[in-house]
A and B are shown apart, each in its own frame.
Chain A
Amino acid sequence: MATTVNVEIYGPFADIAGTRQAKVELDEPTVKGLLKVMKKQWGPSFIQAIMDESGGEFNLSVLVLVNHHPVYHLQGLRTELKDGDTVVFIPPAAGGALASGSQTVIARGKAPKQSHHSAIEIASLRSQ
């Protein structure tokens, strides 16, 4: 029996999808399964807008939540969905794309212990 989830889309993603709210039936009840159905129903442009170049994970201009919890802190694309769950796609008011192509603010390993390795030091370290 198919699982039905509620989908809410905000910001420019809603324009691309052509809808803000929808009920979607899933045979594969995961976030990945949802994306497959969305691609079929709304075309590839929505998927291109929210996925990174590899197509294997979301890009950082979108925040995806399942029942108010970010999927990245659940099981990512493998997050399981139940009947009645709500999945939200929203652009965060945040420096979302900071990790892609950033020249600075790249800390590797633990935060430094000495005071001279301040936030500022970290901020100016070049990515390796």
Chain B
Amino acid sequence: MFGWSGTILKIDLGSGKIDRRPLDIDFARKWLGGEGFGAKVLWDEVGPEVKDGLDPRNLLIYAGGPLNSTLAPSSGRLEIVTKSPLTGIFGDSNSGGHFAPEMKQAGYDMIVIKGKSSRPVYLWIDDDEVQIRDAGHLWGKSVPETSSLIRDEIKDQNIQVSCIGPAGENLVRFAALMNNNVRAAGWTGCGAVAGSKNLKAVAIRGTKGVRIARPREFEQACWEAREKVKQHPLYKTLRRTGTMYLTRQFYIGGYVPLRNYSVTGCSPEEFEQVSGDTFADDYAVQALGCHGCVVQCGHYAIVSQGDYRGTATDGLEFSALGAFTYWYGSTNLAFAIAAAKFCNENGLDVTEPAMLLAWATDCFKRGLLTTKDTDGLELDWGDEKVAFEIMRKITRREGVGDTFAEGLARAARKIGKGTEYYAQTIKGRPSLEAGVRATMGTAMASITSTRGADHLKGWPHFEYAALPPEKSMKTWGHPKTGDGRSPEGKAPMTAYGQSIYTIVDSVGACKFHSRIALDGLREEDFARLLSAATGIDMSAREIMQAADRIYTLERAYNCLLGLGRKDDTLPEMYFREPFNAGPRKGQQIITREDQEKMLDEYYQYRGWDVETGIPTRNKLEELGLPDVADRLEKHLGTKTV
């Protein structure tokens, strides 16, 4: 087999059984890899009877793509799929680094882990040799300590380690699986799933190489793809500032999520203190990339003065730094860098703790939370000592940390008292991206994301380019599609963005190299790369249909769990509270009527039932999924139309 490795590794931690299955070529072509493989396996093997993601029957699926470990730009992305213990629905998380290429080199397209070990263990995969090893001595260790100890134990500093920290061991529902110490599969809580299985780490070494069907053609396509990305005007800027560049785009767009988004803008002076330029000028010392990366958006940063002097780490980007500054009401980037480092070392997602701190402080200021709820801690905007204390408590599930370790949505539901209103979540995930409240297409992408609030399941970047009406008409069939203030014509752009990102997360590539971010690879480019790599000629249309199939299956999975149109909604706060600062002051950007109108158009466009939001039988059959329609009808007790 070319492109794909050809083997699926299945490990039952309960019985200790290790099994290898050949990858079926028709399956591979239909589901591409990565996200597609994981979604299909999850649909087949983890049904609604598995109520909690921490149930041993849940699966932890490491899934690579056919472009991993090749010359294709940034072919190092790893996809981890599971039923999320955070949201209770489909969960996937995508990580950079070097783990996925090593998995490919070892000969595996997927590692499917089920069951629960009776004691802490880690997996050691050395090409064909697979061992379940004792991890008693690793339990309680931080992420860097774990990686280092395993490498020393095996006496190979080149192995790749994906592991959890104390947060995963303590079943913090937003615990991450970390590789290369700072690269996180951080969203949806896959680290907690590993912890629930007593799985501390997966260590892997591969030496088998990758087989490319048409090497010369593939190499040519790779170099052209790289040049395409390098020609974008943002290429050098992203290398300099990383994703912190986005802060300026939000600022000039007139939406800065200050202090739990209770304030919608800030002064230029406040903004510059935590801008991408400040990060690049004062802290970043070296751009770093994942396997085969052209852009290198990750940065190694050093704090050279102040309370955090000497703090050094890498993998820093907007989700962490933006959340710990803007959302939490801090103007201290050094604090945000130290907080991100704490999260990475302890195996916490970086977003959720920051959003929890922002929400809790907001509620404390409003009198909805008191010191009785916070173990005596006085919460204040940007308070650094309190932040580290609460994160420490979350990691160990101590006191208020035990409640917060359930995640923002669950914590707010448990505490109640009106705090739910200020918890800005969609389907159980915090809504970090400020544009969700400010631009229509971004809102649509996030409320229809299959893993809850998310700008990484289909960010409609075209809206950020503010396409002029005539170009918008030409491209999307509607003059208002490129106008973020209008609810009209958003469906094609939203669905297209979701499809491109689905392809990217399925083939093992990076979103920054796709058409949507730096006007990089388009569906026809991916078709060319995949065809040359696998030797199977695939058209752009076939690949886009595969993306549609994958995304629709994820939607069907959530519908099987009882979700539907009622769950596709923005936080109530966004409908009720106009912008109160910045250039949009006084404006109510998105109304509930706007949302419902956009949903009508989106469902119709996707081929999902407009009333329920459930994929129709026609649509599922068109995608070659009649069995999915059968199961939905049987389980839900209704016809799927």
Interface residues of A (CB under 8 A from B): 8, 10-13, 57, 60-63, 65, 67-70, 72-73, 76, 88, 90-99, 102-116, 118-120, 122-124
Contact = CB atoms under 8 A, between A and B. Distances in A.
B233 A123 contact: no
A111 B540 contact: no
B37 interface: no
Q: Which 5 A-B pairs have the closest CB atoms?
A: A115-B607, A119-B495, A70-B466, A107-B477, A94-B461
B429 interface: no
B475 A102 contact: yes
Interface residues of B, number: 66
A98 B622 CA distance: 28
Contacts of A109: 477
B10 interface: no
B492 A94 contact: no
Given A65-B252, A88-B252, A104-B540, A110 B477 contact: yes
A62 B253 CA distance: 14
A68 B252 contact: yes
Contacts of A68: 252-254, 582-584
A111 B478 contact: yes
Contact of A118 (B245, B477, B482, B548): B548
Contacts of B601: 111
Given A93-B464, A118-B548, A118-B607, 14 more contacts: A8-B252, A11-B234, A12-B233, A63-B465, A92-B466, A93-B518, A99-B467, A105-B476, A111-B489, A116-B618, A118-B605, A120-B548, A122-B477, A124-B541
A88 to B, nearest CB: 5
Interface stretch (B154-162, B519-527, B566-574): B519-527
A93 B244 CA distance: 11
Contacts of A112: 605
Interface of B: 232-234, 236-238, 245-246, 248-249, 252-254, 461-469, 471, 474-478, 482-483, 485, 489, 491-492, 495-496, 498-499, 515-519, 522-524, 539-541, 544-545, 547-548, 582-584, 601, 604-608, 616, 618-619, 622
10 contacts: A67-B583, A73-B483, A88-B252, A97-B519, A104-B540, A111-B491, A112-B605, A115-B606, A115-B607, A124-B541
A119 B606 contact: yes
B541 A95 contact: no
Contacts of A102: 475, 522
B492 A122 contact: yes
A91 B241 CA distance: 14
Contact of B475 (A61, A62, A105, A119): A105
A13 B483 CA distance: 24
A98 B495 contact: no
B269 to A, nearest CB: 14
A12 B465 contact: no
Nearest to B461: A94
A123 B519 contact: no
B604 A113 contact: yes
A9 B539 CA distance: 40
A92 B483 contact: no
Contacts of A97: 519
A76 B471 CA distance: 13
B519 A103 contact: no
B233 A61 contact: yes
B604 A107 contact: no
A84 to B, nearest CB: 13
B252 A90 contact: yes
A97 B601 CA distance: 26
A112 to B, nearest CB: 7
Contacts of B476: 105, 107
B622 A116 contact: yes
A93 B519 CA distance: 9
Contacts of B515: 95, 98
B450 to A, nearest CB: 14
A91 B237 contact: yes
Contacts of A124: 523, 539-541, 544
Nearest to A108: B477
Contacts of A119: 491-492, 495-496, 498-499, 544, 548, 605-606
